Structure 1
Amino acid sequence: MRKDARKAFTLVEMLIVIIVIGILAGLMMISSGSATDKAEETACLNNRKILERSYNIYRISESSLTFTEVLEKVKAEHPKMVLDYGDDDFEVFSGVCPAHGKCAITLVDPNVVVAECMIHNNGFSDSLTKKLYGFLTGKKNYDGLARDVKTVADYFSKVNPANGTLDSTGENYGSKMTKQIGEDIGIDLSNYSWQIKKNGNNYTFYFTKEKISNKINQTVNVTKYDPVTKTFVNGTVKIIKNTTSGQSNAIIDATSFKQLS
């Protein structure tokens, strides 16, 4: 009588099979997540292009309408759009991006708008930076800031007239400005370090995505926005320690700015 040649898996063999299955499942999940992210980015881009085209069509056909009036007609075609915040040439919507990013629609020319997503646009575009700069330099009042400071202009006139800078890492004002402005215009400013430098009656805006808290005495890349010339310049600055008013946070040294060639 022939013996059965089959034998069971050993414990080691079973563990190897389980580990291999786990690795394959992990790779499939990573691949699936990446595909989902790409699909959401593509859908978001398509949705924004549709909004831009819709705006331009209405603007051409009904030239007497204002920016806000045209967007009202566009919103009527896209019921999922929900207005979060807006002014005469800038509105922020939910319901455009499938990844739940805020969509900012900005009037950059009398007849042209740009629709940008806070998740799928890489950093600040020209139009968003100009809009952010407008908010920072006093276009809007902010309640709840320390003392009677409600705008950047208040800060420079009442708190820091000599030094002439306001930083995102400032303990009393910078962090609150970051939170309130970010909520208003839909940009997560917590991902950026920024500084406003007062030059006479003008303000120059520096911003970077690099985390500067652990880079004191090091050099980082920044973008500089000059509202007089309306230009953006890429360069580097040195990060220094702020020792004024008992603070010891890291700040941008605007005087060390060097333009990249």
Structure 2
Amino acid sequence: MSETRVPRRRPAGEKPADGLREEAPHFHGHRQRLRDRFLEAGEAALADYELLELVLYRAIPRRDVKPLAKALIARFGSFSEVAAARPERLREIDGLGEAAICEIKLMEASARRLARGALQKRTVLGSFMDVIDYCRTAMAYAEREEFRILFLDKRNALIADEVQGVGTVDHTPVYPREVVRRALELGSSALILAHNHPSGDPTPSTADIRMTLDIIAIAQPFGIAVHDHLIVGRNGHSSLKGLKFI
């Protein structure tokens, strides 16, 4: 009977014998090339799925994540929509664990914090595009409607930024008296209202306009101004002030 030989397990730190050099997995070189391209040319040089690969590397170090990144883009539509997806929806993707979901949501939180920081360093009305950028970063790709209020002081500096309600895919209940009550609690002199349209179309509805006018009517006797109501979506934004509805 011939003897069965069990391959010897090489002790940690021992180098392989000559001619038996171990090679790194094929995707390691791909990862380094992506990192180099990102650092040299910036995010514009990478496709959505490639940028997502860089995010996933930290959570999944020992697996080729390109197929996973492409599956995420195929399911949600874009890098931004992946970042905005709710954790329960991300869990539906085969092979995406909790560590990777945490990295994705951390990325989204970082983007919001950066956009908010740009507002906090200057007067809001003096940096209107920063307001638009922040609202789009915070809400444009959300799957449900969110109603957000930026509370401003007498110098139009940001006091607080709060989500007052989260609704369905096409409706969020808003109570004008509660909006004004919260402004009085914070000592706010002015407001910018904002909400998203998950459909992607930022065109204001009749209900959007009516609700804005109701808030203005209740706030006015208290000396609280409503500077604008912004509606954001994947396809752009609209301003009720710019459209001359207020």
Settle same-fold status: TM greater than 0.5. Answer: no
TM-score (norm 2): 0.25
Bigger strand share: 1
> What's the TM-score, normalizing by structure 1?
0.24
Higher relative contact order (CA 8 A, sep 6+): 2
More helix by share: 2
